Amino acid sequence: MEIPVINLEGLNGDAAERSQTMARLHEACTDWGFFWVDSHGVDAALMEEVKRFVYGHYDDQLEDKFYASCLAKDLQAAVDPGPEDSNKPVSDQVDWESTYFIRHNPNNNVADFPEILPPTREVLDTYIAQMVSLAERLAECMSLNLGLDGARIKDTFAPPFVGTKFAMYPACPRPDLVWGLRAHTDAGGIILLLQDDVVGGLEFFRGDREWVPVGPTKGSRIFVNIGDQVEVMSGRAYRSVLHRVAAGSEGWRLSVATFYNPGTEAVVAAPATALQLYPGAYRFGDYLNY
């Protein structure tokens, strides 16, 4: 079965079309916890411009540093290992990725990256504004599908934390010894992923029974997954799903993940019907520190 693709244009249609689109979204959230969206309102040309920035920034600023790292040197040495090292992981505490994180809200920290020039910063600001609009639209639909007020998720998160993880997964000389990114769930709310349209590697653990590969992006789709806080607010009707990235031996995989999360002072709570599954109301900041 293929990963669901939700065409959000249906939300603008007549009552029947909107109802059908909402039902498809609800099914994707309950049965999968991850899905693709089309007609999402993020400009396709802008998405390509962000991709070009990430590729160029990696080439100019990060590639040499990455291959000079201990991890890269150790894996290169493992290409011709001695007998005692033939099947030994280099480390289970590292990931084969080159990454950095830009915080957009609150307190934008792009000034920490002086090599990102003002024109590119403007591109990123425009892109993030469109991604936040998409996240808020999905938050409204999820809230309504859960029988809540349409503003419930947005109001709970307010003011939201918004940040983007920019990552490149270079070709790995020993992909059998290391993961591109180890398995984890996302602590926050709604995650929007702009990813590679050629190289795959992302995998999600569906239904606690099988790893599902997420292939390269088709067209201008955006990949969405649910974080821990939406699972809590839904009473586990929606699931935050384990996912990982396999290291690959060919090509570079691009990943631009934008996180729409509660602010650190936001108070998150499960519905009364699910209090046996989760603790009482808590600050998101405390959850992160737990």
In this prediction, residue 198 carries a pLDDT of 92
Residue 238: pLDDT over 70? yes
**pLDDT per position as a tens digit, 35-48:** 999 999 999 999 99
In this prediction, residue 75 carries a pLDDT of 81
Q: Find how far residue 36's CA is from the centre of its chain.
A: 12
Average pLDDT over residues 98-107: 96
Average pLDDT over residues 172-181: 92
In this prediction, residue 266 carries a pLDDT of 98
* pTM for the full predicted model: 0.94
Could you give the percent of the chain with pLDDT greater than 70? 94
Average pLDDT, the chain: 93
In this prediction, residue 86 carries a pLDDT of 52
Strands 210-214 and 179-184 turn out to be unpaired
In the chain, count H helices and then E strands.
Answer: 8, 13
**pLDDT per position as a tens digit, 63-89:** 999 999 888 888 877 776 555 555 555
Sheet holding 161-169, edge to edge: 5-7, 34-38, 222-226, 190-195, 253-261, 161-169, 98-105
Q: At what angle do helices 44-57 and 118-145 cross, to 10 degrees?
A: 120
